[in-house]
Structure 1
Amino acid sequence: MTYKRAGVVWFLIMCYIKLSSPAYTKKNSTESIDDLVTTLFKEDGSLLLNLKWRARLNPGTNLDVIINPRGEGCSNKPCSEYGLPGNTTEITFPKDVGQFIEYGQCTFEPGCSYFVKVTTEKRHIQRNLTMTLPGDCYLGICSCRHFKDLPIPDVSAGILDSNSLNISWTIPPLKSKLLERNVTLNSVFISISQGNTQLLTWGGKQSSIYSHFYPLNLTTYNHSTTSKHHFNLSTKLVPGSYYIIRAHIVDVRGCRSRESIFTLPVRVTKNESRQSTESTSSKNSPFHDWKVTELLEIVLRQVDMSAVSTFAVAMQIIQDFCLHILLNGNRITKAFSVQLGNRTLNVETQHHLEYVAHKPALDVGLLCSLMPPENNSAHTDITQDDSRKMDVTHLPMSPMIR
């Protein structure tokens, strides 16, 4: 036992001697990272950052370079590169890091600060600095952090004749914080698309018809301004379809506001409705049985299925439901509940329908996006008075729509 203790003591003494020896101290003191320098430059309309440094590291030591943004409203996606060879003395972000170019995750914005760190993998040696890009613009590249404060145009539309639309938009006054930053509006962007259903965000189809930037010649920003334009379309308006008008503001820096959307349904006449019904009944159903079952489970989960004895009855219930919530602000009215009551709806079912109607991003979207366009308009007269305005900022949009 005595020999073991003596051995442990001897080992500790030798470790202390080695660590405190001049040779060991000199070896570690030669490792360093010095003279870290940052250079910002412009290339292809973007700001790039070049980093240079001097490093004296032991063989086999690797480097990590990490850049974290600082400041409110600045991008929270860091630039980073790990496992660089120890003899590396320069790197450019995001140019030298392909993944950031591809996904656009690594950016430098005027008005933001960035904490730059070059360190060894074990973090025992590092060099840090903080870099700040002054103002709202730098080297001709401007920040768009103020986009949420840009005015959102209030757009509306009406049908003039069989191939013409009247579209008007109102631009509200600028917020004082934008005036203080000398933000100037440049144009309003208007686009028109045709869709087969109002619920485009959940799978409806649409096709672009028209888009244009309209210059804004505003001499003052302390009151709202309204413009109206007449649009002649190259084709006639399609009965039973919807025309989607989108609008957003662009300022002189190229920053765009949030979007507003106006949806304009086109009236279906009784003759067109009858023709559509006859042509639809002469063809095979556009739905497979499993889709009908799926829809019924979503909307009529608690219904007495004896009331849904045929495919036609099932489809009619679904059509009525879709069109009702579409034209009544996603709400179930008492009259409609009574109408559905004729199909043996119980109290639980009515509660379920009310829940579905107030969750359009979940059940209603799936339900009505699966409806075929010819059936969606076959049994109801839709007039332009039924048009509804939607603000995209309050609508749960999918990435590809945004």
Structure 2
Amino acid sequence: MKVFKNINQEKWEALTERQTINKDNLNQTVQAILNDVRLNGDKALKSYSKRFDKVDLKTFLVSKSEIDSANQLVTDELKQAINIAKQNIEAFHKAQFVDEAIIETTKGVQCWRKAVGIEKVGLYIPGGSAPLFSTVLMLGIPAILANCKEVILCTPANKQGKVSPAIVYTANLIGISKIYKIGGAQAIAAMAFGTETVPQMYKIFGPGNQFVTKAKELIQQSGIAIDMPAGPSEVLIIADTTGNPAYIAADLLSQAEHGADSQVILLSDKETVLTQSLIELEKQVVELPRAEIAKKALLNSKAILLKNINDCIKFSNLYAPEHLIIASDSASDYIDDIVNAGSVFLGNYSCESAGDYASGTNHTLPTNGFARSYSGVSLESFQKKITFQKLSIEGIKAIGPSIEIMAEAEELFAHKNAVTIRLKDVNNV
């Protein structure tokens, strides 16, 4: 990690920059894939499966026998862990249901909203070097709770044409039976536009590499809804002298191991905290199976010494991290000051891994600074809100004249007449 000490606030902006990629080449590559799938459907999907996943697929849909097989392949220990996470995620997301009241804005004028599940949603689950079955829980559970009528899942197959048993088991456990062996930008295209096999979806969710992220960005421009813009994984840790250096290092590495393009940031007001944490980092990274990936991520990561913890909070709000950990016994004192973060972990025992798996909060979060304007996935992400209004005779008489005046001022006389014609009737009753 690069170390920066006592940086003036005018230079903070430069330190918040993420790793950049060649967007022009990426745009062209992904747009070509989207166009191909849109025009050639399953034929294009099979071609990309051969090219990228090195597998010749005869069919994309995971079969009933494959689902049954996955159930046998997943250990009882993992099933139990998945079930605990499932219960906690369900409990947290069930609590997000809101009963909205009918509001009488004026006597005789009633207004209200109703939440309706988005009818068709597609979930993308990465399945390469790290098959993220936990993301099946994070996306599938709120989709089912929201009563989305059709929920499908796309995830890449391995060279043997098989999908991760844990992904298949978890999907089936929560009630998703349509699982397609499709990965990458081509999976996003399939769900966005539909093919002979894959139905078209109204909104698409899920993390992925730069190709998946770019595909989601481009289909959004075509009018297909997505969960949020995203980029590589990231964590920012604010630590004072009560933070545990071994814990801090472990949390930094838990994000660094996601990918070489991940970024981790450590902030402190004490140089000893930075030094001890970096020593721990060096000890722990060599023990990881994904050490080489983590080391590459650390090359683009930063440890920054600031004047005090309040400055650390200000820097964090400027950076707007996907994950924010406050490694301090006084972490709760700073809650009101946090305005830009995807998900926050308070205190030395609130490791980021808890949110990734089993605490109950959703781990699908805005990255790349988008936490300034986006929330993480929630129950509401799978709902749309429909407004209703009901006017009685008393209501139209009460607000009708105001509507007439406003419509005439905007020179929309048909709007005015829609009120006038009613008022004439009710005033003659």
TM bracket, shorter-chain basis:
under 0.3
Based on CA coordinates, which of the two structures has the bigger radius of gyration?
1
Structure having the larger proportion of residues in strand: 1
Larger helix percent: 2
TM score, norm. by length of structure 1 = 0.21
TM-score calculated relative to the size of structure 2: 0.20
